[in-house]
Amino acid sequence: MKKLFIISNESIYENNNKYFCDNIDLKSTPEGLGKNFEIALIARKSNVDRSFEINLPNIRIFNSIFPFLCAIKKSTESTGAKYLLISISPYTFLAGMFLKLLGKTPIVYLRSNGHEEYRTILGFFGPAIYHFMFSIISSFSNLISCRDYILKGKPGSIVLPSQIDKDWLSNIKNIEIKNFKLLYVGRLRKEKGIFSFLKMIKGRNDFFLTIVGSEKNDKNKLNQSNVITLGNESNKNNLIKLYDDHNILVLPSFTEGHPMVLLEALARTRPVVIFKEINHVIGNKKGIFVSDRNYESFLNTINHIKNNYQRIQEEMKQNKLPTHEEFVKKLGNLILNSN
């Protein structure tokens, strides 16, 4: 079985030789690829408890860049190994440069638009910083992305990530919408747009919002009577129930490539409200509605959904959604056939 080193900027928490992350993709993708590769996961170390246990036998985490790069160097002793960098960040950029110096060609998997993410996080200089890293690393790497535009004209392959399986697509619950029960699934980060959304709805009593995915100290950031925060939900059945118990998913991100939560909501026939910055995620999918980033437009949008809820749910059943099995199979084939 061919060895695959997966190198990520994500932080992983270790407790009693068990490893945990907050990004479900960092758990499910390496585990899925583990059926066809011998996986070694290299990532940053977290001192904060995380939610999803990663079931892999070979995980290495580091507090700083120097031991991180030393692990990369040692990995090149494995003959014929493949190298998958997840996203472009300072850590993975340096890892890619190091691999190139050691005569290896990395595969870079781009899950979102880094130019826009860096703009949201760092402001004016953010896109220039990302563009510098992207231009260099894309010149010698094999690129894989979830969207063609993320490649910025560079050659690469497209694969659609997904967490959807038969459990997400069975026992669909149709409900009537009486009160607005909104759901947000994701981390409390600036680029996710959740802070601007919370500011927009503060003091409004037209609806109730549940946030799934907050960390322990996130509750201290929020003090709104119409908002409740829950931690990450690592149990799939419990997460499905949370979608079923709410009637609209809100995805307020400023930038997204191929959001998993959108697919999860569509699988459970729960309409999704997004904002104009990410209207590219709609494609041919039914049940996604675009609002301006202000309260009046948002209220008009969810009122439209309420007034047409049953019809919208019936239309959503026509969606053809990618599955996790299809995603892992295609990604594995692209890795295996890369030069």
Instruction: Give the per-residue pLDDT at 223.
Output: 72
| 200 and 85 in a common domain | no
Question: Residue 179: phi, psi to the nearest 5?
Answer: -110, 145
Q: Is 185 exposed, middle or buried (0-12, 13-18, 19+ CB in 10 A)?
A: buried
Instruction: Give the per-residue pLDDT at 339.
Output: 79
| 147 and 188 in a common domain | no
Within-domain flag for 175: no
Within-domain flag for 50: yes
Confidence of residue 216 (pLDDT cuts 50, 70, 90): low
Confidence of residue 207 (pLDDT cuts 50, 70, 90): confident
Within-domain flag for 45: yes
Render pLDDT for 137-160 as a digit per residue (tens, 0 to 9).
999 999 999 989 899 999 999 999
Q: What is the mean pLDDT of the chain?
A: 92
Confidence of residue 221 (pLDDT cuts 50, 70, 90): low
Distance CA 23, CA 136 (A): 27
Average pLDDT over residues 21-35: 93
Distance CA 108, CA 97 (A): 12
Number of domains in the chain: 2
| 202 and 110 in a common domain | no
Do 222 and 199 touch, CB atoms closer than 8 A?
A: no
- Domain range spanning residue 287? 180-316
Nearest to 231 by CA among 214, 218, 243, 246: 214
Nearest to 146 by CA among 187, 101, 109, 192: 109
| 276 and 157 in a common domain | no
Give the CATH number of the domain where residue 243 resides: 3.40.50.2000
| 128 and 40 in a common domain | yes
Can you read off the two tokens belonging to residue 164? 């959807």
- When comparing pLDDT for 167 and 116, which is higher? 167
- pTM, rounded to two decimals: 0.85
Distance CA 222, CA 217 (A): 10
Within-domain flag for 195: yes
Instruction: Give the per-residue pLDDT at 258.
Output: 84
